[in-house]
Amino acid sequence: MTSPVPQLPLSVWLTAQKTSRWQRHGRYLPDSVRHPARMLPAIAAHAITTYTQPGDLVLDPMCGIGTTLVEAIHLDRDAIGVEYETAWASLAIRNIRHAADQGATGTATVHTADATRLTQLLPADMFGRVALVVTSPPYGPATHGQVKPEHGHGIAKTHHAYGDPHDRVNLAHAGRDLVDGFTQILAECVTALRPGGIVAVTARPFRRNGTLIDLPSQVVQAGVDVGLQPVERCVALLAALRDGRLISRASFFQTHLVRKARAAGVPMQLLVHEDVLILQKPHNAQMPSATPAGTRRGRP
């Protein structure tokens, strides 16, 4: 059932004053650049600082290389991550160990699993304890990735695609079922959240076969459908703000794509922000009962 998406207060987060490379330098293992769609560390850190206190529990059900978890434990919070692809889950574990070696005081665990089964993974005493969920869905099977000059001519694109294209459990390959899968994951997160707990989802509009998909609005609707209340719509800048002007940090491919589209008469804009949708579990929500593992809600 759908209901109109409400108008929400808006705030702007200065999250790209330093480039993504400098935000990660020394703090993440160099292999981390292999992931096709990492979150800017400053976005995760801003959400964690704004919506939690030291000692709180933070969850990322699609944690990739563990950005949310690493930032949480550096800020003295504890964290749980779930990631479907084994390669990214093991990189998340290594990034967490690296953070601990650097003095991070929180603790984090990573599950390699399908997050639509989240409540089957968590120990029952975790239900109703999570203060904040920070996550971002994959926007499609491929992203901009990295570019390198080819021998002789042209450029080669690397690290721009997720794993097995036939595996639709990976939401990157779910196509039109992306929002359904994401709604299921949000429903599982609601069980894990404490009353009053916050969900922060980063998303941006994208094109599927030329059609503009308003993913941020779909994320808000998904939250409403599982009983969350939308409280804020934020703009996390992917551009630096210097002397009142935005300095774009767009990749080669983003700029190239927009130039090509505009030359062909498509009025495409260069995006220099991510939407961050903030939703809240109602304070009067009932605490979930701790049912034994195996009998909890989840896909058969």
Ligand X SMILES: C[S@@+](CC[C@H](N)C(=O)[O-])C[C@H]1O[C@@H](n2cnc3c(N)ncnc32)[C@H](O)[C@@H]1O
User: Binding residues for ligand X, per CB under 6 A?
Assistant: 35, 37-39, 62-65, 67, 82-85, 88, 114-116, 136, 138, 162, 169-172
Q: How far is the CB of 156 from ligand X (least distance, A)?
A: 22
Q: How far is the CB of 242 from ligand X (least distance, A)?
A: 25
Give 63 or 285: the residue with its C-beta nearer to ligand X.
63
Q: How far is the CB of 236 from ligand X (least distance, A)?
A: 12
Contacts of 26 (CB under 8 A, 6+ apart): none
Residue nearest to ligand X (CB): 64
Distance CA 238, CA 203 (A): 12
Q: How far is the CB of 149 from ligand X (least distance, A)?
A: 27
Residue with tokens 């070696």: 101
Q: How far is the CB of 261 from ligand X (least distance, A)?
A: 23
Give 57 or 134: the residue with its C-beta nearer to ligand X.
134
Give 61 or 230: the residue with its C-beta nearer to ligand X.
61
Distance CA 71, CA 81 (A): 12
Distance CA 38, CA 137 (A): 11
What backbone torsions phi and psi does residue 137 show, to the nearest 5 degrees? -75, 155
The strand order across the sheet containing 108-112 reads 10-13, 229-237, 273-280, 193-203, 130-135, 57-60, 78-83, 108-112
